[in-house]
Structure 1
């Protein structure tokens, strides 16, 4: 913001040297530490950096930089066109870091145009209530001080996007903290906080949240409402459990839970984009398939310094895993299937009583260990579709072996990426009496769903038929009454059968990149749905009244469709935490509203409902 002062207005002001005279809060040492050249430059640029000047207090003329007449004007000096003080720029950025400040004056309110205030690395024990007057403030850094509490007025900063409070002495946060609804980055690590206000549920725009090095014994379920959260750091607290709601955060990419008191991990049904999971230095004794089977995007898994005795075969499901740290556990053997993790670049095993791998192999590094494990996979674990077909360099993908070990140990029937037009009977024959929970027939040439998939109805809960050539859904699929996750994206579907209403446990359905022109009616009759992904179709309309019946639906992706109109009544679906509408030809809501997130879009839509 730039303020333009008229020459007449300046002349009418009483002669004053307040900007440079000594007075309360303006010690001689402080004034001397702020050269007049810096002040003049700040009037032009709107930025003032006073970092590392050993200031014990902020000189008064800094607070009044945009109010008082400069000393040069009092001495009737001539001004060049570029130095006309009455055309000065309001101060928008003030850096006071690495000084010796013990307090900030209420004169802070004299700088209402500030967008950035940095006072980190000082000796502040409190913040003035005047902080609430900085209505344009976007970034505030008060880290590395001695703050014991925060003023309630801090919650008035409606435009604040970045707040750094780390390395202070805070024991609690204001109850109304959730009023900071524009926050995108919040760091309150290295304090003494034992509980989080429930108002955190309103911080829906936060992308990075750092709660590390505090005294938290539990995490409130309200954190799960932070639908845009990508990075959550809870390192070194006193957490014994993780709320299941946290494990359903669809945007979470990095989760740090190191140095807590966790004994087990939650299931991660919706964290399909989670890339890093750090749970080292806890008390975890067991990993189960429920903990791992949905972590399709996981690249880093840190399990060091726990109490694991065995590693489950299900670890082989993490096909994208690049780094696995198992240091300092009680593991005596590794599952051979670990060797099939083709993306693995770093495997740490130090501090385990491994007895099944020779020391010389361990010393050769990750790739040699994986190669050794692959050599231990029994030939009996692999069968060919024909039962006796030898595998050679000329074997077609559709003829390659079926992984019997995955069927028996991982409860997974995987016949993906074969370019197969049909699923051979031998694949289903290999299942036998084994209970199968996951079916993956993706990336083939299927034009219809195999009839024999109905044989798995008693156990299967996750089916992936993506990247095929399906134009319809068969009745056999509708018989899988235990189904919770269904992925049929990248096919040629235009409709879904009414019989799918029988999928009474379905939670997530991915229909992206098909040919739907309307949202399939049957989906309105599956009340268990939590996520409907319909991006990149040709959808022109949806029924908001029917949609409201889906009270568990928290994610609706309608990106890149043909919506000409967004019904205002959709705003009444307040359970939605993620509503994606970008890439449609409608005129309202405008892009500026969409960019503010789901809550802002829903609020806008509600405001358009005819009274």
Structure 2
């Protein structure tokens, strides 16, 4: 009878299944099973299985097939001395469910079924008392069974990239848990019982819909890494500062308007808070972060760096790219451990652009050299001179003539005063910053007059058709409400970088297909629903294409023919293929995968 059951389950039977015209399931090689009986480990990843053969679940219950034969066994093949299965890997198959027969493997310590099509988990998992690691990530789970809470030895629970809208209220019963990853789900709240997870070391809550964190998380005395990237957090409970073991805190892509107020967080080593709405660095907050080695604040709205930043004596990496910083404190050059300083994308007035390009050490050396200068301090206003325009405009003439920079940002202006353009009538500026205003269009005089320009984060809804300059090489218009680009932009034959992230494009701007010099297209966080791979292939210089967080329902395989792409970013779109595991392998592997899917 046992042999008949194994034959029906596909475990070595040579004939087809009765009553089925479909192709038989891929068989599990008997050699693998023999090896598993000796080692206690069975790896069936990537075998195209739509279900797990019954004899896999019964590997330690039924005698093996060779036991039915009249054979002599060597010491290595004594099946009756087999080892109980402790590790079972079923990843990257086509499984839609797991059998309740999983309870027949009570010795399992690791069960890996990530990257399948599971919509639920069997309640029998609760009987695996020895289970220490459960990986059910990259499936389609909508809930977790309450029986999971009966696993006393579970140390690692990975459920990222599913469709969970809530977690079991009693999850705190898993007292042995050291790693919990629930990222990339649809969670709106965290169970209060999380406070009981006192042995948790790593907690990943990224890419959910959390609007707040419970202050009770501070009870996690062992937590070293907390990732809350890409949620809807506006504040962080100050009580989290009492987490004595916390070393890494990720708060990127939220809605923070200021750095967390941590009154006593002296052990935090890394704070990542980029892509928020932070406008000011509070000097008192910085003083409480004396152990920081990494401070990442790129893509915010920071206007100034306080002198007190020098209290961060252990700081090794400081990322302030893409903010609104116009001046730096010269004492920044005295930070003894600083090895990396990112400042690109700021309207700096006192530092030449070529100096920024020389690297961190040269920049720090320059800042130190300026500390003893007699001129106005880095945070002081420039004196008014005969060359100063009316206060309404506040245009820095020195910046125009020396740095070729026209600065008129953060004025909340509905239009740019004529006096601003008059200031550059006889000067060829190369960079223009009209960011953070309330412009509803880009002034014709601006786009028609200057050889290159940058105009980012202005509240722009349209671009006048007659206002383009064929000498543009950089065009930055992120964080606006643009929905279309004029066809006249086809004249921008020298344009090689365009940044249209965080706008409202629903279709890929067709004019971009006709700009042969384009090297970089940044179109993330829009609503683009499709792209034309054939026209993209015509852009033979295109090396970077960022389409993250759009509405692409499918990725055309022909995109794989764009072999010049060095960076293709597609995360955060609702397409089902390619899967996240393919995206994670990088651009080269992704392009190869797409080419393999092109119909012959």
Q: What is aligned with 1:78?
A: 72
Pairing 1:346–2:340 present: yes
Q: Within 5 A, what are the aligned runs for 1:56-135?
A: 56-135=50-129
Matched with 1:467 is: none
**SS across alignment from 1:175:** coil
Alpha-carbon shift at residue 367 of structure 1 (Å): 1.4
Partner of 2:192: 198
**What pairs up with 1:399-478 in 2 under 5 angstroms?**
none
Q: Distance in 1 between matches of 2:24 and 2:71?
A: 25
Task: Say if 2:15 is the partner of 1:20.
Answer: no
Q: Distance in 2 between matches of 1:330 and 1:82?
A: 70
Q: Is the 8 A contact 1:249 1:270 kept in 2?
A: no
| Mapped pair 1:218 → 2:215 | no
RMSD in angstroms over aligned alpha carbons? 2.2
Aligned-pair CA distance for 1:337: 1.1
Shift of 1:24: 10
Residues 254 and 277 in structure 1, CA contact (< 8 A), matched pair in contact too = yes
Deviation (angstroms), 1:380: 8.5
Partner of 1:605: none
Q: Secondary structure of the equivalent of 2:80? A: helix
Are the equivalent residues in 2 in contact too, given 1:202–1:225 (CA < 8 A)?
yes
**Cα deviation digits, residues 531-572 of structure 1 (max 9, x gap):** xxxxxxxxxxxxxxxxxxxxxxxxxxxxxxxxxxxxxxxxxx
CA distance in 1, matches of 2:47, 2:34: 18
Which position in structure 2 is the counterpart of 1:597? none
Q: Which residue of 2 aligns with 1:509?
A: none
In the TM superposition, what is the alpha-carbon distance from 1:379 to its structure 2 partner?
Answer: 7.0
Unaligned runs of 5+ in 2: 18-22, 379-600
> Could you say which residue in structure 2 is the equivalent of 1:180?
174
User: What secondary structure, in the 3-state scheme, does the structure 2 residue paired with 1:186 have?
Assistant: strand
Corresponding residue number in structure 1 for 2:46: 52
Q: TM-score, normalised by structure 1?
A: 0.58
State the secondary structure of the residue aligned to 1:255. Answer: strand
- The aligned counterpart of 2:552 is none
Tell me how far 1:373 sits from its aligned partner: 1.4
- Among candidates 308, 311, 317, match of residue 311 of structure 2: 317
Distance 1:367 1:235 in 2: 30
- Choose from 239, 243, 247 the match for 1:249: 243
| 1:19 and 1:65 in contact (8 A); partners too | no
The answer as to 2:323 corresponding to 1:329 is yes
User: Structure 1: where are the runs of 5+ without partners?
Assistant: 1-14, 382-404, 406-611
SS in structure 2 at match of 1:82: helix
Whether contact under 8 Å (2:10, 2:25) holds in the other structure is no
Q: Which residue of 2 aligns with 1:169?
A: 163
Which is further off, 19-28 or 63-72? 19-28
Partner of 2:460 in structure 1? Answer: none
Q: Give the length in aligned residue pairs.
A: 369
Equivalent residue number for residue 29 of structure 2? 35
Is the CA contact (8 Å cut-off) linking 1:247 and 1:266 kept in structure 2? no
